[in-house]
Chains A and B, each alone.
Chain A
Amino acid sequence: MTFFLETNIYQFFGRFHAMLVHLPIGFIILAVVFEMLALKKKIDLNRAISYAFLAGALSGVLSIVLGLMLASDGGYNEATLNIHKWTGITMTMIAFLLFFMKRKQKTRLWTQKSYPVLVIILVALLFVAGHNGGNLTHGSDYLLEHAPNPIRALAGMEPIRERVTDLDEALVYEDVIHPIFESKCNVCHNNDKAKGDLLLTDAESILKGGKNGNVIVAGNANESELYRRVTLNPTHKEFMPTEGRTPLTNEETMLVQWWIDEGAHFDKKVVELNLTDRIKAYLRDVGIGLKKTFIENLDLKKVDGKVIEAIQAEGFKIKPVSGNSALLEVTYSSYNKEPITTNKLEMLLKAKTNIVWLDFSGVPLNEDVVPKLGQLENLVALRMSNSNLTDAGIKAFESLKHLEYLNLYGNPISDASLESLQKLKGLQKLYLWKTNVSDEGMKSLKAYLEGATIVSGL
């Protein structure tokens, strides 16, 4: 038997249990459906029903044998496993019984009376066995993991804790590490299926470790079994997660390493630990400390496709800033022979709340057109270099409260525009190269716009 020396032959066959177990389920349901059909339509399906029960019973026997093999590996919740085992065995016996009863239904009276009772019991047991089997395979949290909170409350589960994503407030275990374990490890390391006797569901069980002892050495990731297992070569026998489940991403692995190296704390906040730029970047990857910019917080409805087409017909290039975003960026190529007229701009303004980036650089603008740009309330970046803007035009930009980037290089504007520019407190970048703004003007502007980089040439 050298063929099987290296492998666990029980496990090899045992794992077919989860597949084959669906055969008795199907046959039994089929028998019940036939029975109901026979009652309703008054037709004789007795033979079919009896064979369906027989097939259910026989495949049930096979499932039981395979199930016992699978369970021999251990690591399952004993109570759940016991219920599952005995409901399965009982079901198989009832199915045999029903087969015999169905064959001789016409002969004895007592069978006629007890038959429907047994069928109802069998169906009830089917649900019990099926549910427990699911719990053993996926964990008892699996079914309702994504259920809405009211349903979770009915099932006696804690409501989902709203994950804290603010860098200053987030807890290192609850908000960073626990979600990683939940999504990648706890399918097998949970209360119903503690593979290797290891649970990763809460602090206590993580510290308790598994059958080979501790999995975490606080302060030393390289000595920690848990870290070793997730960083092995994926083809290694001991690599985790096993069985072809999705491995941890590079970022998640680094965060687990950082958490252990920093002492594997369960109650500390992220900011109480040593935070490098790199760790911050990894945290952003799992959704912690993403500083949402103004436009990322904007929640707008998409502009109607017909409006977009009408704007395009006026010569504007208009498209979402990314993918399916409702936010729009607009450009008008300097290759367009027609100037931007008031009529054209009126059409553009039909999408005014959604326009966040606007590029009119190199396009000369008339004085009657520019003031209308002040209506673009959510504009964040405005590029109007070499656009023949005057001081009078700049006045219109005072209402662009969210402007972060403003490029005005190559426009004949002077110190008279400073008063308007000073009001743009949100500015981060301002380009004033090749304008008539004086050096003193630049200096005074810098004092007003502390957060902004002002580029006035090199």
Chain B
Amino acid sequence: MDLYNEAQKRKLEYTTRRHFLKKCSTGLGGIALASLMGPQYMFGGNNTVNSLDPGSLPHFLPKAKRVIYLHMAGAPSQLELFDYKPALQKLHGLDCPQSLLEGKRFAFIQGVPKMLGPQFNFKKYGQSGTYVSDALPHFSEIVDDVAIVKSMHTDEFNHAPAQLLLQTGSPRSGRPSIGAWVTYGLGSENENLPGYMVLVSGGKNPSAGKNAWGSGFLPSEYQGVQCRNSGDPILYVSNPNGMSRDIRKKSLDAINEINRSQYKEFNDDETLSRISQYEMAFKMQVSVPDVMDVSKEPEYIRDMYGAKQGEASFANNCLLARRLVEQGVRFVQLYHWGWDMHGDSKATSLNEGLKTKCGEVDQPMAALVKDLKQRGLLDDTLVVWGGEFGRTPMRENRGGRIMPYYGRDHHTEAYSIWMAGGGIKGGISYGETDEIGYYGVKDRVHIHDLQATILNQLGINHEKFTYHFQGRDFRLTDVHGRVVKDLLV
């Protein structure tokens, strides 16, 4: 007789289902209570606070319906392209005065650097008489359609945080990017394509990585969809062998049906996101290969951009950007990598590397503005071109040594961008920097001001456009930003 086993057996016989239910009353009750009080709170959904009234946006009559953002990752030198400083030429090669260095921090400059004059010649172009350097011959043809802002400034002097600040309003990752905000607020104009698409050229992703087009705390269907330059534009966009479009449709319908009943039960917003993503993916199987096919353009248009089929070039991406906005994509973002001209090698020198980069973007970006204009799209498409910060009027002296080539260090206080279309004045230069382009001295424009202005053109009041997350309302511009009225028509 095994007393121990006998005791176990008796105990198990004694313990009935009733005991279980009795003992669990607090735990089960708690779970039941939570699901009664509001199932959405159990699964992270918060669809009551943020249910965006579809009728509430835009806040006022928009000037622009779409945005093409041309981000020059690495930060081009304003002193070689737009901000003409003859006085800096005179100081070329002299020691930088101590007054400019005191209390300053640079990414690489150490000790006393030398001043560095502009490396390209400038001429006036257009009826507006806008100064543009020789490096951008095609751009000089469109200056009368463009507003150049020369007094941009930012808070961050390293690439990744500066790119994030520009694209998400915060130098740390995790916030939604401006494209996600805009598509969240205004939706897409074409149900067959994502509202926010991203094209990358120049050989590398931007330093900020995919956070630069992330959706942060917004529903994930608003994140930017990156398209590839070769193969399928989007991974797995074509059906595998043996899978017909009908079968694909049936299987997606079945999955969505399950997801829908799941949503009914748990009210988690991300389930809805997932459903719409599946539906979008199915439509994209047809629409994306079509819209991403450069060969559908006539040859003279391809030549205008300098686009060649199958290339991962900025020219192709500019042409694609036009095709996308033509189809009603709300926010198209182009990243072109490689503007970080420190002067440590030939490829990163102002005289050689910058010229190459300018050659890659000059014709396509001018063609983009012209092409949008002749199609009547420039009226309601806002084009923005610029880097994440500027470059110093001093020559970089990494480690206190003389660099092999001419280069400039990162600079936050003053740099230039340009904007065109979407209700922005053409043929103006806004803001002024001092004689050497070191500080903005008139009409300074902060990154948040730029963001506020872009949203304003889309009919959005940046102070009212919020999303409730982790206990507070978030804005793209946080607590900053003012619309730059002088730039508007």
A409 within 8 A of B: yes
Least distance between A53 CB and chain B CB atoms (Å)? 47
Decide if A278 is an interface residue (CB 8 Å cutoff): yes
| B187-195, B274-282, B406-414 - interface stretch | B187-195
- Contacting residues, chain B, for A281 (C-beta < 8 A): 485-486, 488
Stretch touching chain B among A166-174, A226-234, A320-328: A320-328
- In the bound assembly, the distance between CA atoms of A320 and B56 in angstroms comes to 10
Determine the distance from Cα of A385 to Cα of B287 in the docked complex, in whole angstroms: 20
Residues A433 and B375 in contact in the complex (CB < 8 Å), given A278-B486, A322-B61: yes
Bound: A82/B189 CA distance, A? 67
B55 CB contacts on chain A under 8 angstroms = 320, 323-324
Q: How far is the CA of A320 from the CA of B375 in the complex (A)?
A: 25
- Let me know if B203 is at the binding interface, CB within 8 A: no
Known: A322-B60, A333-B192. A409 touches B486 (CB 8 A): no
Contact B58 A431 (CB under 8 A): no
Complex Cα spacing A277 to B487, Å: 11
Q: How many whole Å from A241's CB to the nearest CB in chain B?
A: 20
Query: Is B344 close to A, CB under 8 A?
Result: no
Task: Please indicate the chain A residues that have their CB under 8 angstroms from the CB of B62 in the complex.
Answer: 321-322
Give Cα A362–Cα B482 distance, bound, in whole angstroms: 38
Instruction: Determine which of A285, A335, A405, A457 lies in contact with B374 in the assembled complex, contact meaning CB atoms within 8 Å.
Output: A457
Which residue on chain A has the smallest CB distance to residue B291?
A335
Encode contact with B along A308-333: 1 for CB under 8 Å, 0 otherwise. 00000000010011111100000101
Task: For the complex, give the distance between the alpha carbons of A282 and B328 in Å.
Answer: 33
Q: Is the CB of A323 within 8 A of B328?
A: no
Find chain A residues with CB under 8 A from B192 CB: 333, 335
The answer to whether B374 and A433 have CB atoms under 8 Å apart is yes
When distances are taken between beta carbons in the complex, the residues of chain A under 8 Å from B287 are 335
Are A331 and B189 also in contact (CB < 8 A) when A281-B485, A321-B61, A323-B60 are? Answer: yes
A-contacting residues, B455-489, CB 8 Å: 459, 482, 485-486, 488
Chain B positions 145-195 with a Cβ under 8 Å from a chain A Cβ: 189-192
Q: Counting CB contacts under 8 A, is A455 at the interface?
A: yes
Indicate if the CB atoms of A317 and B189 lie closer than 8 Å. Answer: yes
B485: which A residues are within 8 A, CB to CB?
278, 281-282, 285
> B308 near A: Cβ within 8 Å?
no
Q: Which of B57, B327, B376 contacts A323 (CB 8 A)?
A: B57
- What is the minimal beta-carbon distance from B7 to any residue of chain A, in angstroms? 70
Size category of the A interface is: 20 to 34
- On whether the beta carbons of B58 and A335 are closer than 8 Å, the reply is no
**A155 contacts partner chain B, Cβ-Cβ < 8 Å:** no
> With an 8 A cutoff between CB atoms, is A407 at the interface?
yes
| Residue in chain B with minimal CB distance to A361 | B326
Residues B376 and A409 in contact, CB atoms below 8 Å apart: yes
How far, in angstroms, from A322 to B191 measured CA to CA in the complex? 20
Is the C-beta of B379 less than 8 angstroms from some C-beta in chain A? yes
Contact mask for chain A residues 388-425; partner B; CB cutoff 8 A; 1 contact, 0 none: 00000000000000000101010000000000000000
B260 at the interface (CB under 8 A from A): no
The answer to the question of A458 belonging to the interface, with a C-beta cut-off of 8 Å to chain B, is: yes
- Does A344 interact with chain B (Cβ within 8 Å)? no
Cα A278 to Cα B443 with chains together (Å):
11
> In the bound complex, do residue B379 and residue A458 qualify as a contact, i.e. CB atoms below 8 Å apart?
no
Instruction: Indicate if B59 sits at the interface (CB-CB under 8 A).
Output: yes
A329-341: CB near B (< 8 Å → 1, else 0) gives 0010111000000
Q: Is residue A296 contacting chain B, with contact meaning CB distance below 8 A?
A: yes
- Provide the residues of chain B in CB contact with A405, threshold 8 Å: 376, 379
Cβ of A372 within 8 Å of any chain B Cβ, yes or no, is no
- For residues 57 through 98 of chain B, which have their beta carbon under 8 Å from a beta carbon of chain A? 57-62
Assess whether B486 is in contact with A277, with CB atoms less than 8 Å apart: yes
- In residues 10-31 of chain A, which contact B (Cβ within 8 Å)? none
* B189 pairs with A385, CB closer than 8 A: no
> In the bound complex, what is the Cα–Cα distance between A334 and B328 (angstroms)?
10
The reply to whether the CB of A429 lies closer than 8 angstroms to some CB of chain B is: yes
Residues of the B chain whose Cβ atoms lie less than 8 Å from the Cβ of A383: 376
Q: A residues within 8 A CB of B379?
A: 405, 429
Interfacial residues, chain A to chain B (CB-CB below 8 A):
250, 277-278, 281-282, 285, 295-296, 317, 320-325, 331, 333-335, 362, 383, 385, 405, 407, 409, 429, 431, 433, 455, 457-458
5 tightest A-B CB contacts, nearest first: A431-B376, A407-B376, A281-B485, A433-B374, A322-B58
14 contacts between A and B (CB under 8 A): A278-B486, A317-B189, A320-B55, A325-B61, A335-B191, A335-B287, A362-B326, A405-B379, A407-B376, A409-B376, A455-B373, A455-B376, A457-B374, A458-B373
Having A333-B190, A409-B375, one finds 6 other A-B pairs with CB under 8 Å, namely A295-B61, A322-B58, A322-B62, A405-B379, A409-B374, A431-B374
